[in-house]
């Protein structure tokens, strides 16, 4: 029995639908990158003089102090660079709002397209509605919590952006269902990536990137502090050190240490997943996953050196988003 090919009009509508979804995914990828730039710039990555400027503004804000003559003298060497960064942040914020608005319009178009299609594709409709729900959640989160310093706000924006990217990519390029052991391994790897993203977001939002040096140093510092598990509470605003020298958030050593341990565990999950995908003929996907693993490891080592270059942090964020998107396609 030979299946009839779709009518030309139906084929064109399907092609247009996938193109809109692909454009939406590209825009969401831009949104997540712009959001990461704004979040990391606010944290002080790329500022001068380094590392004194890391978290300086929020430390003064938390202490109830205004930047006076002494603060101006301390920051004088980096004044020109900080003014440039301020202009870049303003442009990034404007671009973020414009791109987010266009992406929301495209999401609505995708939902209307799935609602109007006959016969209705239930899987696409559910995915499009989930995409719209996440977009609206992020819009409300941005309006209600713009000035919040709670880590949960940064985590909500981070996971929401990654979820939108994965859902839009799923609509843009329908995935072939996985076979055999690939699906459970991909699910484990996906869970590992989510945990790693949460820990990385917590490290960033709690200004813990300079809390300790090396995996052993982080675990030793956390043990010396009595394993402060309360520091992992995303609903708890971190308490910053008042002095400009030393770690901004000493209690962040636990989060940073766990982030590095989770990276090792995640590597043990990703390598077998890539091998299984390769054996199933998903050569490009497996190669992409292995490439992302290598790049993420290199960026992680670069960031752990202590200089925290903004470009490396942005690339690390982008790599995590792509890895999560790829793995989600192997779980369905």
The 10s digit of each residue's pLDDT in 233-269 is 999 888 776 655 566 788 899 999 999 999 999 999 9
Of 71-85, 121-135, 276-290, give the lowest mean pLDDT range: 71-85
Q: What's the pLDDT at 52?
A: 78
Predicted local confidence at residue 143, as pLDDT:
79
- Find where tokens 């290199």 sit: 298
Q: What whole-number distance in Å separates Cα of residue 167 and Cα of residue 105?
A: 15
More confidently predicted of 220 and 121: 220
Cis peptide before 194 (omega within 30 of 0): no
CA distance 325 to 162: 8
C-alpha R_g of the chain: 22
Span 161-184, average pLDDT: 90
As a dihedral over the C-alpha atoms of residue 304, residue 305, residue 306, residue 308, rounded to 10 degrees, the angle is -70
**What is the predicted pLDDT for the residue at 74?**
40
Q: Are 14 and 172 in contact (CB under 8 A)?
A: no
What residue segments make up the domains of the chain, in order of their start? Answer: 11-66+79-329
Listed residue (299, 273, 265) closest to 196, CA to CA: 265
Whether residue 28 contacts residue 164, with contact meaning beta carbons closer than 8 Å, is answered with yes
Measured distance CA(211)–CA(251) in Å, rounded: 7
CA distance 132 to 301: 37
pTM of the model as a whole: 0.86
Greatest alpha-carbon pair distance for the chain in Å reads: 84
Percent of the chain beyond pLDDT 70? 86
CB-CB contact of 203 with 255 (8 Å): yes
- Do the beta carbons of residue 89 and residue 36 sit within 8 Å? no
User: Cα separation of 238 and 230, whole Å?
Assistant: 10
pLDDT band at 120 (very low <50, low <70, confident <90, very high): confident
pLDDT at site 9 = 67
CA dist., res. 286 & res. 155, Å (int): 28
pLDDT score of 308: 87
Q: Classify residue 18 by its DSSP letter.
A: H
Are 285 and 189 a contacting pair, CB within 8 Å? no
- Residue (of 273, 299, 295, 298) closest to 285 by Cα position: 273
Q: Say what the pLDDT of residue 226 is.
A: 93
- Phi/psi at 245 (nearest 5 deg)? -90, 150
Q: What is the pLDDT of residues 180-201, one digit of tens each?
A: 899 999 999 999 999 999 999 9
> Which of 292, 327, 25, 291 shows the shortest CA–CA distance to 173?
25
Mean pLDDT of all residues in the chain?
85
Residue 19 pLDDT level (bands cut at 50, 70, 90):
very high
Of 25, 290, 332, 287, the residue nearest 186 (C-alpha): 332
pLDDT, tens digit (0-9, with 9 covering 90-100), for 297-313: 999 999 888 788 999 99
Range with the largest mean pLDDT of 29-43, 172-186, 285-299: 285-299
Per the CB < 8 A criterion, the answer to whether 292 and 322 are in contact is yes
Q: Residue 205: which H helix or E strand, with range?
A: helix 182-205
**Distances from the Cα of 317 to the Cα of 39, 81, 158, 303, angstroms:** 11, 24, 9, 12
Q: What is the mean pLDDT of residues 55-71?
A: 58
What is the distance between the alpha carbons of residues 30 and 270, in angstroms, rounded to a whole number?
Answer: 25
The residue-averaged pLDDT of 67-77 equals: 41
């Amino acid at each position: 029995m030979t299946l009839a090919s779709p009518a030309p009009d139906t084929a064109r509508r399907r092609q247009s639908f996938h193109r809109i979804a692909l454009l939406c995914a590209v825009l969401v990828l831009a949104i997540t990158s712009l959001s990461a730039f704004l979040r990391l710039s606010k944290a002080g990555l790329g500022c001068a003089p380094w590392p004194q400027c890391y978290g300086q503004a929020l430390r003064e804000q938390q202490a109830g102090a205004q930047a006076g003559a002494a603060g101006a003298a301390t920051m004088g060497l980096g004044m020109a660079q900080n003014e440039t960064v301020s202009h870049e942040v303003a442009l990034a914020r404007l671009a973020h709002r414009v791109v987010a608005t266009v992406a929301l319009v495209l999401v609505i178009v995708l939902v209307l397209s799935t609602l109007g299609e006959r016969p209705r594709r239930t899987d696409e409709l559910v995915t499009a509605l989930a995409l719209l729900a996440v977009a609206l959640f992020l819009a409300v989160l941005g309006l209600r919590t713009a000035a919040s310093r709670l880590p949960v706000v940064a985590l909500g924006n981070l996971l929401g952006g990654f979820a939108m990217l994965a859902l839009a990519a799923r609509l843009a390029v329908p995935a072939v269902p996985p076979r055999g052991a690939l699906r459970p391994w991909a699910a484990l790897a996906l869970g590992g990536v989510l945990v790693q993203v949460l820990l990385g977001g917590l490290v960033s939002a709690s200004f813990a990137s300079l809390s300790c040096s090396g995996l052993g140093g982080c675990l030793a510092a956390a043990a010396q502090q009595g394993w402060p598990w309360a520091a992992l509470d995303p609903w708890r605003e971190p308490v910053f050190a008042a002095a400009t020298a030393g770690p901004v958030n000493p209690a962040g050593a636990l989060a940073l240490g766990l982030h590095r341990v989770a990276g090792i565990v995640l590597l043990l999950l990703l390598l077998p997943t890539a091998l299984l995908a390769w054996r199933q003929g998903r050569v490009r996907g497996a190669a992409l996953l292995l490439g992302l693993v290598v790049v993420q490891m290199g960026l992680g080592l670069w960031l752990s050196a202590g200089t925290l270059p903004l470009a490396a942090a942005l690339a690390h964020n982008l790599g995590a988003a792509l890895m999560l998107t790829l793995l989600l396609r192997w779980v369905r």
